[in-house]
Structure 1
Amino acid sequence: MSWLSRIFPTTHGDSDAGSLTSAIKSVRTAVGVPETELKRWRRIFDTNAKIVKGENFVNAIAPSGDLSRIGRAQFAILFRVADTSRRGLVSWEDFTVFETMLKRPDADYWMAFQYFDVDHSGFIDYNEFKTVFSANIGPDAIPFDFDCDWIKLYLGKKNGSHVLGYHEFTQLMKGLQGERLRQAFKYLDKDTDGFILPEQFKQIILEIAGHKLSDAVIDRLPTLCTLSPGQRISYSEVIAFHNVIREMDMIERIIREATAKTKDGRIDQSDFLDHAASSSRYSLFTPMEASIIFHFAGRGSGAQRLALIDFAQLLDPRWRAPHDEFDAAPAASASILQGFLHSAYSFVQGGIAGGIGATIVYPIDMGSMQNQRSTVVGQLLYKNSMDCAKKILRNEGFLGFYRGLGPQLIGVAPEKAIKLTVNDIIRGRATDPETGRIKLGWELVAGGTAGGCQVVFTNPLEIVKIRLQVQGEAAKAEGFAPKGAVHIIRQLGVLGLYKGASACLLRDIPFSAIYFPTYGHLKKDVFHEGYNGKQLSFVELLLSAGIAGMPAAYLTTPADVVKTRLQVEARKGQTNYKGLTDAFTQIYREEGFRALFKGGPARIVRSSPQFAFTLMSYEMFKRCGPDWLIGAFDNGYFVQYPWDAKPRQMETALTVRPDEMSKVRARNALRILLDVHGDFGRRGGSKAV
């Protein structure tokens, strides 16, 4: 009977609401568990009814989407720990004790200790350890000598009085795999020449570490013999391979850090060993261990430089070859359709994101001073940006700040879609698929091309927007009624809509060529996107996009000033410009060099937040995927569109959001037991003891 049974008035969890409240308070007092946590446990318990051995128990404790090769059914091993009364039923009291144990920081070893401590004495003797161990391995397993000197060091001689407490037991379990490895090698090395056959090596590894390796690595285990002459495997190589498995998390960290620092995103064995030595006080890995890592990652060619994704088959136990990810390759017609759908979806994303950014900063755009000239007959319309804003508010009201927004929103969808999509397409083509790296030259080409393509939509949009903006205040000053967008379009004609296009190109190409590479490097180099699987937060995306817009906006201000002057219809007394060169010359001659940067700070204030909100929205839309937008539903599950189906990237414990800690610890406890033998819990061991 568990100690908690003395607290609860019931024994099978059938209490009414009043007694449940009392029980919760009692447990909170006894073990210090928050009330919200207890209520969550109760929901899990009630969802699985009275937890019995089998699927209900597994559903209650197993992590969802576990990234190991441990099957969910194997979590039933831990049922014997939870069912302290041996009734084949886990009561509410038992479940509460079990979950409380999982809150311990050393829950993994504590659960393993409870599994071996059959009589609940708090100690494990020789016979108890041998009985539990033997009951969980099959007759075909490599035998283990319980009378060896190693066991005697921990448990004394057979039938002796030495017993293990909890802390001693943890040390025994930590070193047990090494002893099993030594005994297994000695048992299979019949002629004691220091070598075993490749298939024998595979048998050893499958028994003690099969749940830690991907199918690809398991299939290639016999190829370890190729690292040395003779086509056989030495004890040194077996130990080295075991050390690689044991330090897999550290290996992953070193590989991620080392590949992130190299120019090409690849490393060789020397790079790996150098980074391992520089990141630790002592050398963690031997040259033989490094050779084994690169042998299995490089599919037998350990001398080549490898990217992070090449190590996936070694680091990710669930890794599968890319051609195994899907049942069949898509047909050519399907690929064309996928490309079309992807482009269409990108247009939708770009349109929505651009609309968000444009709407937020449009009032700032109205206050731009770029069209303010010093040669106007009479008085200046605006003294500065603040004076401009005050006059717009006084003469036109708050809605005056949004004059011309309609055409802006109508045109912003194709403009942003083509800009963002073209940049993504070119970057995607130029990016190394293995390293995720792209050369700076291609970044500039991608951004510049995207900026050039958008002019097809940008120029007509901006010439109408600018004329709508400037005529509002001029109409008040000169006493005429403002014209609408349709009138302006008819007045200009098709060719007129592209007046100032050369200046628009001169502005948008360098703007995007500066902006997109800066944005990409801020995300990667400053905020470390992708490092150990990091995904940038809302604020980090906003800062990256906003900061990148500052130099891009200011350095392209002269082209924007010229474009604005060319596109605005000159009134009486104002200078007429014949073209791009003439506009540059006239502005410089009449107003000086500073006039070319007129409105530069305002452009930063406008462009920086506009692109910040646009790119942040675009990134968030891409993270969400198409399902939330399209709402396609099929048999109760959202349908993924064909372009969204991609080979699974390397997922490990370092790259994903962790499960509830209690479930992580349950998984780790199971791993400790499986490290004893891969068949642990599969042979009815709990019944045997």
Structure 2
Amino acid sequence: MLRWLRAFLLPTAACQDAEPPTRYETLFRALDRNGDGVVDIGELQQGLQSLGIPLGQDAEEKIFFTGDVNKDGKLDFGEFMKYLKDHEKKMKLAFRSLDKNNDGKIEPSEIVQSLQMLGLNLSEKQAKLILQSIDSDGTMTVDWDEWRDYFLFNPVSDIEEIIRFWKHSTGIDIGDSLTIPDEFTEDEKKSGQWWRQLLAGGVAGAVSRTSTAPLDRLKVMMQVHGSKSMNIFGGFRQMVKEGGIRSLWRGNGTNVIKIAPETAVKFWAYEQYKKLLTEEGQSLGTFERFVSGSMAGVTAQTFIYPMEVLKTRLAVAKTGQYSGIYGCAKKILKHEGFGAFYKGYVPNLLGIIPYAGIDLAVYELLKSYWLDNFAKDSVNPGMAVLLGCGALSSTCGQLASYPLALVRTRMQAQAMAEGAPQLSMVGLFQRIVSKEGVSGLYRGIAPNFMKVLPAVGISYVVYENMKQTLGVSQK
């Protein structure tokens, strides 16, 4: 694409500002396939495709709807030229932010320095891969012409969006709610894209959790009962025998309902903690992101924790024990008091730190490994790599915090057995290790891991379809 643009658009040498209308007009004529003086969305997509610059539907639509100032469904030459001029100004600012020594060229060391300030740690070797995909003359430096031509039809607006290839996607839901919230650019916040992405992620989470609910209920049953004799097949057979096929989804309603309030509180809290930890205009580093994300998780869990208790009680309950979510809540309040809604709260909060920390650390490690060993002509890893990195890092986070999650679940459910001792977190740890061994702290981890791959696949497909339905632009 870069070489085509330099040959086709810049015959008037390196004089960027000498005759910009001529330069823009050459491209406009190439896109105006029927010669009527305007370009519609179909012509833009077909024209870019035929010129060897396919961007994908979302990016092309973003260019078109941003440029179409009068909203008549067409781009005339004036609108087209204004869009490219405005876009070049943004790209000039991004270029200058990377060109630390102001010599008119971007070098690998400047890439490393700039991305470190944004919390993305790259080696110089990795930075060279970034430049290699932009550099057209083989000098391993990028001047303004090369930079402008490369991003001419890429609807990013600043350097932070340029590095969002490694965005840790909100749309991936593996059934746990302890992950660090996603980042949104100022453009996404102003345009309303952020709430559409959160809504798409919420719907994806609901479908994913419902699809894998039988495995989730089996995990809870194995955590609570802690029987060595209960295997996966036997557990399913026992649940179906006791309550029928529908009982496999017991507790799933609460698990789905809590997605909306938890996502909203976590997103709001994350933004507030970011403001507290950074000065105005300062970029968020990895450590600040970890602290902000962990504290946002604590805030959200505090708000919705009663629903976590209800989910566990309903999942473990026998047929007819509770009439539903409201009946379960009413019964707990009447017989155990309000404090019962926060049983297991401490191990739940303690689990957020290892989960969020290891999830983030493993993701960064996998990203760095891919860049070192597999990136060739582009630093864009592709969706399959992103999904794999996200699923594996979240799984490692689950593994590290699983003993705390198991103790939390038992504390939530132990009052259901009449006359049973109400043990503390430490007491439960000691009892599990003494009676079941260390492996007892990992009861139910098999069905927990079994649901990861289908959950990731389902949530991704639903998330992408919901984004299309809601008109979310692809970065």
Same fold (TM over 0.5): yes
Q: Residue 590 in 1 paired to residue 443 in 2?
A: no
Q: What is the distance in 1 between the residues matched to 2:369 and 2:322?
A: 49
Q: Which residue of 1 aligns with 2:326?
A: 486
One-letter code aligned to 2:391: G
2:73 corresponds to = none
Equivalent in 382, 396, 404 of residue 243 of structure 2: 396
Give distance in 2, aligned partners of 1:504 and 1:615. Answer: 27
Is the counterpart of residue 386 in structure 1 residue 233 in structure 2? yes
Indicate whether 1:600 and 2:445 are aligned.
yes
Distance in structure 2 (CA, Å) of the matches to 1:433 and 1:609: 41
Q: Label 1:529 to 1:560 Cα distance change in 2 as closer, same or farther (>3 A).
A: farther
Unaligned runs of 5+ in 2: 1-19, 31-49, 53-84, 93-100, 119-123, 159-185
Counterpart AA for 2:297 = G
From 177, 195, 205, the counterpart of 1:354: 205
RMSD of Structure 2 on Structure 1 (CA)? 5.5
Structure 1 pair 622/457, CA: closer, same or farther in 2 (3 Å)? farther
610 and 314 in structure 1: CA distance in 2 versus 1, 3 angstrom threshold: closer
Cα deviation 1:143-188 (Å, max 9, x = unaligned): xxxxxxxxxxxxxxxxxxxxxxxxxxxxxxxxxxxxxxxxxxxxxx
Residue 526 of structure 1, aligned match among 370, 373, 393 = 370
Return the alpha-carbon distance in structure 2 between the equivalents of residues 492 and 461 of structure 1.
12
Contact 2:362-2:396 at 8 Å conserved across structures: no
Counterpart of 2:225 (choices 352, 369, 372) is 372
What amino acid sits opposite 1:406 in the alignment? G
The equivalent of 1:259 in structure 2 is 111
In the alignment, does 2:256 pair up with 1:409? Answer: yes
Amino acid at match of 1:534: N
2:97 counterpart residue number: none
Structure 1 residue 370: Cα displacement? 0.4
| Residues 383-392 or 454-463, more deviating | 454-463
After TM superposition, the structure 1 = structure 2 runs for residues 589-628 of structure 1, keeping only pairs within 5 Å, are 589-607=434-452, 609-610=454-455, 613-614=458-459, 620=464, 624=468, 628=469
Q: How far, CA to CA, are the matches of 1:432 and 1:518 in structure 2?
A: 28
1:504 to 345, 348, 352: 348
User: Which runs of structure 2 are paired with 1:26-37 in the superposition (5 Å)?
Assistant: none
Amino acid at match of 2:355: F
Shift of 1:582: 2.3
Q: 1:483 to 1:602 in 2, by over 3 A?
A: same
- What amino acid is aligned across from residue 491 of structure 1 in structure 2? K
The one-letter code sitting in structure 2 at the alignment partner of 1:396 is G
For the Cα contact (< 8 Å) 2:254–2:307, is it kept in 1?
yes
**CA apart distance, 1:263:** 7.0
- The answer to whether the Cα contact below 8 Å between 1:507 and 1:556 also exists between their aligned partners in 2 is yes
Equivalent residue runs for 1:173-322 within 5 Å: 259=111, 264=116, 285=139, 293=143, 312=147
Q: In the superposition, relative to structure 1, how do residues 556 and 259 fare at CA in structure 2: closer, same or farther (>3 Å)?
A: same
- Report the Cα offset of residue 584 of structure 1: 1.9
How far did residue 498 of structure 1 move?
1.7
Q: CA–CA distance in 2 between the matches of 1:263 and 1:431?
A: 17
Which residue in the other structure is 2:162 paired with?
A: none
Q: Deviation at 1:543?
A: 2.1
Residues in 2 aligned to 1:506 and 1:70: alpha-carbon distance in whole angstroms: 60
**Counterpart in the other structure of 1:80:** none
State the secondary structure of the residue aligned to 1:603: helix
Q: Where does the alignment leave 5 or more consecutive residues of structure 1 unmatched?
A: 1-66, 78-102, 106-210, 219-226, 228-240, 245-250, 298-310, 324-334, 375-379, 632-639, 650-689
Alignment of 1:539-554 (within 5 A): 539-554=384-399
Contact 2:359/2:397, CA 8 A, preserved across alignment: yes
Among 443, 448, 452, the residue aligned to 2:298: 452
Alpha carbons of 1:420 and 1:613: their partners in 2 closer, same or farther (altered >3 Å)? farther
Partner residue of 2:24? 71
Cα deviations by residue, 1:574-619 (Å, 9 ceiling, x for unpaired):
742342222222322333322112222333223565466546755x
What residue identity is the alignment partner of 1:362?
A
Q: Which residue of 1 aligns with 2:179?
A: none
Give the SS at the match of 1:383.
coil
| Number of positions where the alignment pairs a residue of Structure 1 with one of Structure 2 | 350
Q: Give the Å deviation of 1:463.
A: 1.2
Q: Is the 8 A contact 2:359 2:394 kept in 1?
A: yes
Shift of 1:556: 0.9
Q: 1:466: which partner in 2?
A: 312
Separation in 1, partners of 2:271, 2:451: 24
Q: Is the 8 A contact 1:68 1:318 kept in 2?
A: no
Shift of the 265–217 alpha-carbon distance from structure 1 to 2, 3 Å rule, reads closer
> Match of 1:135?
none
Measure the CA separation in 1 of the matches of 2:189 and 2:215.
39
Displacement of 1:429 = 9.8
Change (3 A) 1:524 1:508: same
Q: Is the 8 A contact 2:414 2:420 kept in 1?
A: no
Label 1:458 to 1:555 Cα distance change in 2 as closer, same or farther (>3 A): farther
User: Which digits, 9 at most, give the CA deviation of each residue in 1:81-111, with x for residues without a partner?
Assistant: xxxxxxxxxxxxxxxxxxxxxx9x9xxxxxx
Give the match for residue 410 of structure 2.
Answer: 565
Alpha-carbon separation, structure 2, partners of 1:458 and 1:285: 55
Question: Any idea what SS the aligned residue of 1:514 has?
Answer: helix
What is the alpha-carbon distance in structure 1 between the residues aligned to residue 276 and residue 258 of structure 2?
Answer: 27
Quick one: distance in 2 between partners of 1:261 and 1:413? 38
Assess if the C-alpha contact under 8 Å between 1:366 and 1:469 holds in 2: yes
Could you say which residue in structure 2 is the equivalent of 1:238?
A: none
Q: Greater RCO between the two (CA within 8 Å, min separation 6)?
A: 2
The TM-score, its normalising length taken from structure 2, stands at: 0.56
CA–CA separation in structure 2 for the residues paired with 1:347 and 1:217: 28
More helix as a share of residues: 2
Cα pair distance change 1:519/1:609, threshold 3 Å: farther
Query: For residues 339 and 429 of structure 1, do their structure 2 counterparts lie closer, same or farther at Cα, with a shift above 3 Å needed?
Result: farther
Contact 1:503 1:580 in 2 (8 A): yes
Number of the residue aligned with 1:556: 401
Deviation at residue 363 of structure 1 after TM alignment:
0.9
**1:316 Cα deviation from its structure 2 partner:** 5.0
Pairing of 1:150-189 with structure 2 (within 5 A): none
Alignment of 1:664-675 (within 5 A): none
Distance 2:271 2:257 in 1: 23
CA distance in 2 between counterparts of 1:216 and 1:407 reads: 46
**Which of 287, 296, 314 pairs up with 1:441?**
287
* Contact in 1 for aligned 2:200/2:467 (Cα 8 Å): no
Match of 2:230, SS state, is coil
CA distance in 2, matches of 1:265, 1:448: 21
Q: Distance in 2 between matches of 1:407 and 1:592?
A: 32
Bigger-Rg structure (1/2):
1
**1:419–1:453 CA contact under 8 A, matched in 2:** yes
Cα distance in 1 for partners of 2:154, 2:455 equals: 41
Q: Deviations over 1:439-481 (max 9, x none)?
A: 4423432442343233135522221111111112xx5xxxx65
After TM superposition, give the deviation of residue 541 of structure 1 in Å: 3.9
**Counterpart Cα distance in 1 of 2:369 and 2:21:** 31
**Post-superposition offset of 1:499:** 1.6
- Structure 2 CA distance for partners of 1:518 and 1:414, relative to 1, 3 Å: farther
Q: Provide TM-score, normalisation by structure 1.
A: 0.41
In structure 2, the residue corresponding to 1:367 is in which secondary structure?
A: helix
